[in-house]
Amino acid sequence: AQSVAQPEDQVNVAEGNPLTVKCTYSVSGNPYLFWYVQYPNRGLQFLLKYITGDNLVKGSYGFEAEFNKSQTSFHLKKPSALVSDSALYFCAVRDFPSGGYQKVTFGTGTKLQVIP
Amino acid sequence: SQTIHQWPATLVQPVGSPLSLECTVEGTSNPNLYWYRQAAGRGLQLLFYSVGIGQISSEVPQNLSASRPQDRQFILSSKKLLLSDSGFYLCAWSPERGLSYNSPLHFGNGTRLTVT
C-alpha cells in the first residue's frame, strides 16, 4: 500500500529565511506526488506536483519541491519565507486503482509557522 | 473555469438529527467527486467517491451515506448524527479517469460540523 510520511508536526522559520517541509513516500511503481496547502477553515489548495521529468518542480507562490528517488523523498522548499506562508501543508501520493477514481493518500500535515 | 461550492460553511446539529451537506461543481462534466473528513485539523480520511451519477463507493463503514443525483452534485447525508460525526467535511473533484492523469484534486472550502 502506498503511504507518505511527514516527520515534522510543526516547522518554525524566521521571515526571509529559507524553509523546508519534509515528506517521504512509499509506493509500488512510479510515484505521483503532490503538495497541498490549507489555511484555517478552508479547503486544501494545490501547490505543485511531480509526475515525471525534472526532479526540481516549481509551483505556486514561489514554492518548489525536490524529488529524490533514492531517498524516496519529496521535500517542499521556498528560498525566502513570508509570514503569509504560515499554514498547514500536506504531502500526498496518488494511485489509480480499478474503478476509475484517484486514490490519494495524504500525510498527516505539517504546520508551518513563519515568525516575523 | 471550474469552481466547487460547498454549503453550509458551518453547522451545529444535535445528536440524533439528520444531516445533509451539499457540494456542486461548475465548469466541468463527468467529474469524479469525493467526500473527505478531516478530524482534529489534520489527517484527511476519504469517506466516499463517485465516478458517475448514482455510482457511489464507500471507503469506510460509518453512519454516513452519499448520493449523486446529478452529474455535478454530491450530497453527504445521515439519518441520525452521532457525536463522533463532528469534524470538517471537504468535498473535492477531479477530472474523469481518462483526463485526470496530471490533475490534482480540487477542494471546496469545507463544512465545519459540530454535533452537540
Is A71 a residue whose pLDDT tops 80? yes
Residue B72: predicted pLDDT: 95
Is A18 a residue whose pLDDT tops 90? yes
Residue B1: predicted pLDDT: 84
Of B6, B32, B109, the CB nearest to A102: B32
Q: Which residue is listed with cell 489555511?
A: A39
> What are B67-106's pLDDT values in tens digits?
999 999 999 999 999 999 999 999 999 987 666 667 899 9
Is A101 a residue whose pLDDT tops 80? no
Read off the C-alpha cell for A58: 516549481
> What are B13-67's pLDDT values in tens digits?
999 999 999 999 999 989 999 999 998 767 899 999 998 999 998 887 778 999 9
Chain B residues in contact with A109 by the CB 8 A cut-off are: 42-43
Classify residue B83 by its DSSP letter: G
Burial class (CB in 10 A: 0-12, 13-18, 19+), A56: exposed
For chain A, say whether B32 makes contact (Cβ under 8 Å): yes
Q: Are B108 and A40 in contact (CB under 8 A)?
A: no
> What are A47-57's pLDDT values in tens digits?
999 988 899 99
Q: Are B70 and B85 in contact (CB under 8 A)?
A: no
> What are A28-49's pLDDT values in tens digits?
888 889 999 999 889 999 999 9
Residue B99: predicted pLDDT: 61
Q: Are A25 and A73 in contact (CB under 8 A)?
A: yes
Pick the residue of B38, B55, B93 with the most A CBs within 10 A to test the interface with A by mutation. B38
For chain A, say whether B56 makes contact (Cβ under 8 Å): no
Residue A23: predicted pLDDT: 98
Q: Are A66 and A55 in contact (CB under 8 A)?
A: yes
Strands A10-14 and A110-115 turn out to be parallel
